[in-house]
Amino acid sequence: MDDGIIALMIPIFALAIPIVVVLTNHQRKMAEIIHQTHANNNVQPVAELEAIRMELQNMRMQMNQHTIALDDLRTQQQQLPPSMPQTVQERLGAG
């Protein structure tokens, strides 16, 4: 090799080493950020799903209460004889 080319390559390699180090550090930090973001995104849906389940359970309980109330109202409107159970609870044996 020519001495001029070797003399030119030495400073290029000397400058390339810090550039490679900076790029490697940057890539590592970006990978950490991406992994943290994915970890946080995985936690969020679990909490959101749990909130939806609780809301669904509350809605089911309300629907059951409304159904019982409507049935009780219908029973009262039908004017059943006193010997027959008047409410859902009485008909189910809970009363």
Q: What token pair was written down for 38? A: 């994915």
CB atoms within 10 A of CB 86: 15
The DSSP letter of residue 93 is T
pLDDT tens per residue across span 48-61: 888 999 999 999 99
Q: Is pLDDT of 1 > 80?
A: no
Mean per-residue pLDDT of the chain: 83
pTM strictly above 0.85? no
pLDDT value of position 47: 80
User: What does the alpha-carbon distance between residue 13 and residue 77 come to, in Å, rounded to a whole number?
Assistant: 95
Q: Is pLDDT of 71 > 60?
A: yes
User: What does the alpha-carbon distance between residue 72 and residue 58 come to, in Å, rounded to a whole number?
Assistant: 21
Cα 21-37-45 angle, rounded to 5 deg: 165
